[in-house]
Structure 1
Amino acid sequence: MELETRSLCLTNQVGYVTHLPKDWSYPSLCQEVFKSAQNFIFDLLDMGFYSDGPVYFRSSPFSRSSARRQELFIFTTFGNAFERVKENTSSILFQETVLVKSKGYTRIRPEELGDYYQTLSQQYSQAELEAILIYHVLFYQGEDLMVDVYSEVEV
């Protein structure tokens, strides 16, 4: 699998954290995350926020910590102007800007994620793998769910 260098820049991200189900495959995981994120986007609409960007999830599949390996951070972006009026004490996550400078970008189908992870495991040392964050941008191309995958070693 050929990996490219590419950057991903996202602003005004809103999301939530969840955990991997016990039994899952890569295609079912991507489909469930996409469906869950669409429901979240509908909830945002009810609050007056309009999603204008991609659905993505961030994970740390090579972490030695099983709790960290199980966490999925699911996000979308919104285009509304906003003003912070108080500290966020809800379970909803907000990140103003994320810039990922990936040396491990590729576009694949969900069933190819295992091959992608295998390629990463051969390109990075164990210490780097422990600190790697993977961003999975989900979208439909025609009838097919696709994944733009970016990886970055967390500093």
Structure 2
Amino acid sequence: MNAVEERLRRLEDTEQIRTLDAVYCRLLDDGNWPALVSLFTPDGTFDGLSVVTGRDALLAFFSSLADSGLTAFWHHVSNLEIAVDGDIAHVGSLLWQPCVVDGVPHVAAGRYADRLVRTDDGWRYSVKQVRFFYWAPLAQGWDHHRFTLESARNAATTPSRGLA
């Protein structure tokens, strides 16, 4: 592959990864769990509110979010930093997430650190990791780093695996 072809492939990979993140957010917010889980490799891991590995476990985890009181959310991801190295990519991004927990409006923010691999089906998450800066009732504000959702507190205090 010549230099121009390499640059073109890197640009195409970057745009495909950017689109994958947008689709991830839409499917998560829409509650389309089977389609969401298909964005992970068969042995992919979500590391955030819990650490879950494998598509069956991912499907069970995401489809049970409402059982924990998390009934609505809107994921806004920005500031993507994408590093592609052959068939592996590392992506860092910022998350801002208004949500509803037990009927109470909340706001959360954090950072994703993801590892992706190129597959026959396109780029897929091998690890999607989120660490929260705050998760708090909207009426109380976010400035005191309140965590009213226990699993968000755990994700905030668990050391990063340094994927990005």
Q: Does TM-score exceed 0.5, indicating one fold?
A: no
Tell me the TM-score normalized by structure 1.
0.27
**Greater percentage in helix:** 2
RCO higher in structure (CA 8 A, sep ≥6)? 1
